[in-house]
Amino acid sequence: MELPISGESVPVFDCHVLLRETSTGVTARTANLDGIEATGPTERDVLMAIVKTFKQTVQALRADGKPIPFREQPLTPEEDEVERWIPVHL
């Protein structure tokens, strides 16, 4: 969902991420847009990868004039997951 911005219109989208630490690093998935996942050695690495893919996906959909298929109800974190919300500017 696009976040409201007062003044000039700047496309900003909420990237809602669910993270889990594993024995080999960190895994993540977006809670509000299906199909975006990443794994890496650190939370920072995984979040950078998720944001890059999220941004590319949203930009491509907007460029094609297609609606962004945000989940009406974001995924609920599992017991061992933590949530992060990242504003993504296009």
* pLDDT tens digit sequence for 39-72: 999 999 999 999 999 999 999 999 999 999 999 9
Which domains occur in the chain, in start order?
14-89 (3.30.160.250)
> H or E stretch including 32?
none
Please measure the distance between the N-terminal and C-terminal CA atoms of the chain and give it in whole angstroms: 13
* pLDDT tens digit sequence for 24-43: 999 999 999 999 999 999 99
Residue 80 has pLDDT above 70, yes or no: yes
Q: Which string of b and e fits 78-90 if b means at least 16 CB within 10 Å?
A: eeebeeeeeebee
**Token pair for 45:** 């690495």
Instruction: Provide Rg for the chain, Cα atoms.
Output: 14
